[in-house]
Amino acid sequence: MKFDVAIKNGCHELKKSNIRSALLDSEILLSKVIKKSRKFILLNLDDKLNQSDHDHFKDLILKRSKGKPLAYLTGIKSFWNYDFKINEKVLIPRPDSEVIIEQVLDIYKNKNNLNFLEVGVGSGCISLSILKEKKSFFATGVDLSKECIKICRYNANKLKVGNRIKLLKTDVDNLIFRKYDLIISNPPYIKKFDLNKLNREVINYEPKLALDGGLEG
């Protein structure tokens, strides 16, 4: 089957499930399957998929049609200026969180050295992006999730800032006697009884630990 036909078929299936970005998602999933860029696909629409890749593509389309987030299917999410590895144990980075980075860079634009703490480090997207922008900053990231610490460490090493961040699987209360110049956090803020109102892609797939903000949010 040619690339263009596969993309159209995938798009059609996703539209039936009310996936708004059906065409783009279909192209991105095909890109993952054949391990080529989306640009390559669009320039070679007459190329053919082998049967194994076609079966893999259909499986990803099926999972996407059921609401599984694209980022979990590709294992990658772009945030700030970088790509971060994620999985279903880690909250998907949101563009809205980039405002934290913007504020830190603005407030501390004249600061050469900064030792900051992130509570609930997740994939590391916030802290690691700051460290990439400020070469003399150092960070500590804490999280209750062992998987988040593992993913964050991978991303830190990939971005070559692993030597400037300390990662701890712990509750923030255990750091009570430590001092930092700055503490940042984007904690769970959804009220427990509002969780079922979330989009199916969020509530059915993203980790409850990163969403549930308790009774008060």
pLDDT tens-digit profile, the chain (217 residues): 999 999 999 999 999 999 999 999 999 999 999 999 999 999 999 999 999 999 999 999 999 999 999 999 999 999 999 999 999 999 989 899 999 999 999 999 999 899 999 999 999 999 999 999 999 999 999 999 999 999 999 999 999 999 999 999 998 887 777 889 999 998 866 666 566 666 666 666 667 666 655 656 5
pLDDT score recorded for residue 168: 94
Angle between helices 146-158 and 125-133 (to 10 degrees): 20
Query: Which residues are 2's β-sheet partners?
Result: 48
> Residue 217 has which token pair?
């949010």
Q: What is the CA radius of gyration of the chain?
A: 20
List, in order, residues 6 or more apart from 8 with CB less than 8 Å away.
Answer: 26
Question: Backbone dihedral region of 121: left (phi > 0), alpha (psi from -120 to 50 degrees) or beta?
Answer: alpha
CB 86 within 8 A of CB 76: yes
135 vs 90: CA distance, rounded Å = 26
pLDDT score recorded for residue 97: 92
CB 208 within 8 A of CB 145: no
Among the listed residues 1, 28, 139, the one whose alpha carbon sits nearest the alpha carbon of residue 83:
28
pLDDT score recorded for residue 216: 66
pLDDT score recorded for residue 12: 97
Would you call 179 helix, strand, or coil by DSSP? Answer: coil
85 — phi, psi (to 5°)? Answer: -75, 135
35 vs 163: CA distance, rounded Å = 30
pLDDT score recorded for residue 171: 85
115 — phi, psi (to 5°)? Answer: -115, 105
pTM exceeding the 0.85 threshold for the entire prediction: yes
Backbone CA torsion sign across 137, 142, 146, 148: negative
Helix (H) or strand (E) holding 101: helix 98-107
Beta strands in the chain (DSSP E): 76-79, 82-85, 114-119, 137-143, 165-169, 182-185
Q: What is the number of other CB atoms lying within 10 angstroms of the CB of residue 4?
A: 14
pLDDT score recorded for residue 195: 60
